[in-house]
């Protein structure tokens, strides 16, 4: 027997109580880790954004397009190494619920803008030379089991062709993936020219520009130059870093960070109160035993540590079980092609786990502090008086 035996036996002396406490802690950390996993995955674009990439959008809103000529004009701005342009196609495959994130791009400059993309099937040349080519991200290809050589029609819920239809035919001629597994490859690319020529309205517009600067240190100057160039024109621009752009894009879905903070905050506040009061009561019930230990000669600081260890152990067991359960659930979800297609790389991850462990330690310390203090200060003679 040692100090740890005492802590363990005391913690589990009332099995039902311990299990209920563990369960409530488990739930809180389950919520935390599941939301954390989604948040991480949604923000992967923000974190993996290249430092030298800028995005120029219409100042009104990034869903509003800009004149085609802007592309060429930005290319001549000092400090710009490469400019590409992209357009939101908003496609779906067969049925509207089969959403396929598709962009009409200028292939050559686009691949130059994103050097981290590499072709795993087909080739860059195939993409560049075939006007009807659909270059498919590896995660997306996996989701719909698409292979090079297949013909797929995609519908747009935004655009219309001149003949009144809104389905475009594509040849899958290349599949690409990102070097980094955390970067989602869950979208498809096709030729801007094919797109633009068939449009019934809004021709000769570009959705946004992607700029690589000569050096990240020039980012600010380049953004200012671009925005100054279009100031006081009918379509003013706003140029930001890719990270800021990704963030704004995600926030279209709602302020996910705030939702996560509120939900996990509420869960933690609840368990803090439940575990806190239960610990105080549990230790109060043991006042007499603690007095006996002191009588035997256990020093007050050791009693303090013992009680604190109990609440820490409780919090760590419950929390780790919660994160473990979250990791299993998230893993199961990520096995579904629908999820891996739209949220590739979905997992709890180390960052969330470590933050979680930090919370567990904090929870254990906060809930243990008052009972540990009470136990440490309890007067032996008085404790024995209370039979």
Question: Binding residues for another protein, per CB under 8 A?
Answer: 1-3, 5-6, 9-10, 13, 288-289, 292-301, 380-381, 384, 387
Separation CA 307–CA 365 (nearest Å): 10
Residue 59 CB burial class (10 angstroms; 0-12, 13-18, ≥19): middle
CB count in 10 Å sphere of residue 118? 14
Nearer to another protein, 16 or 253 (CB): 16
Q: CB 289 → another protein: shortest distance, Å?
A: 6
Nearer to another protein, 1 or 253 (CB): 1
Nearer to another protein, 194 or 298 (CB): 298
Separation CA 315–CA 368 (nearest Å): 10
CB count in 10 Å sphere of residue 261? 13
Q: CB 294 → another protein: shortest distance, Å?
A: 7
Q: CB 346 → another protein: shortest distance, Å?
A: 43
**Which residues have a Cβ under 8 Å from the Cβ of 33 and sit 6 or more positions away?**
322, 323, 326, 327, 330, 348, 352, 353, 356
Q: CB 304 → another protein: shortest distance, Å?
A: 12
Matching residue, tokens 């935390």: 32
Nearer to another protein, 177 or 310 (CB): 310
Q: Which tokens is 278 given?
A: 């239960």
Q: CB 296 → another protein: shortest distance, Å?
A: 5
Q: CB 17 → another protein: shortest distance, Å?
A: 13
Distance of CA 200 to the CA centre of its chain: 37
Nearer to another protein, 96 or 385 (CB): 385
Q: Which tokens is 61 given?
A: 């809103």
Q: CB 280 → another protein: shortest distance, Å?
A: 19
Bridge partners, residue 300, by sequence: none
| Cβ contact 111:125 at 8 Å | no
The string of DSSP codes covering 335-350 is TSHHHHHHSTT---HH
Q: CB 344 → another protein: shortest distance, Å?
A: 50
Cα dist. 305→6, 192, 319, 360 in Å?
12, 67, 20, 17
Separation CA 195–CA 159 (nearest Å): 9
Nearer to another protein, 3 or 153 (CB): 3
Phi, psi of 101 (to 5 degrees): -75, 110
Nearer to another protein, 8 or 151 (CB): 8
CB count in 10 Å sphere of residue 145? 8
| Cβ contact 188:140 at 8 Å | yes
Nearer to another protein, 9 or 131 (CB): 9
């Amino acid at each position: 027997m040692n100090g740890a035996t005492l802590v363990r036996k005391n913690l589990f002396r009332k099995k039902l109580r311990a299990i209920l406490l563990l369960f409530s802690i488990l739930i809180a950390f389950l919520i935390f880790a599941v939301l954390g996993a989604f948040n991480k995955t949604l923000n992967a674009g923000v974190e993996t954004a290249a430092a030298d990439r800028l995005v120029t959008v219409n100042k009104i809103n990034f869903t509003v397009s800009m004149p085609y000529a802007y592309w060429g004009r930005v290319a001549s701005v000092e400090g710009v190494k490469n400019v590409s342009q992209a357009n939101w196609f908003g496609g779906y495959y067969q049925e509207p619920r089969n959403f396929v994130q598709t962009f009409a791009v200028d292939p050559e400059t686009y691949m130059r803008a994103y050097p981290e993309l590499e072709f795993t099937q087909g080739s860059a040349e195939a993409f560049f030379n075939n006007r009807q080519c659909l270059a498919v991200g590896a995660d997306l290809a996996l989701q719909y089991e698409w292979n090079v050589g297949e013909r797929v029609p995609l519908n747009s819920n935004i655009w219309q062709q001149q003949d009144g239809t809104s389905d475009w035919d594509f040849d899958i001629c290349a599949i690409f993936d990102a070097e980094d597994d955390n970067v989602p490859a869950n979208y498809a690319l096709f030729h801007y020219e094919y797109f633009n020529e068939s449009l019934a309205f809004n021709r000769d517009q570009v959705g946004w520009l992607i700029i690589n600067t000569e050096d990240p240190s020039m980012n600010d100057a380049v953004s200012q130059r671009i925005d100054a160039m279009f100031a006081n024109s009918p379509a003013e621009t706003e140029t930001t870093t890719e990270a800021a752009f990704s963030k704004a894009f995600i926030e279209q879905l709602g302020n996910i960070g705030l939702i996560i903070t509120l939900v996990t905050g509420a869960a933690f506040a609840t368990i803090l109160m439940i575990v806190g009061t239960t610990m105080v009561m549990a230790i109060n019930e043991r006042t007499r035993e603690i007095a006996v230990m002191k009588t035997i000669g256990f020093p007050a600081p050791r009693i303090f540590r013992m009680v604190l260890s109990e609440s820490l152990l409780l919090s760590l067991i419950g929390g780790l079980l919660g994160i473990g359960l979250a990791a299993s659930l998230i893993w199961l979800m990520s096995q579904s092609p629908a999820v891996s297609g739209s949220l590739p790389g979905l997992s709890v991850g180390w960052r969330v786990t470590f933050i979680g462990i930090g919370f567990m330690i904090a929870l254990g310390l906060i809930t243990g502090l008052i009972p540990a203090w009470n136990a440490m200060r309890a007067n032996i003679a008085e404790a024995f008086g209370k039979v």
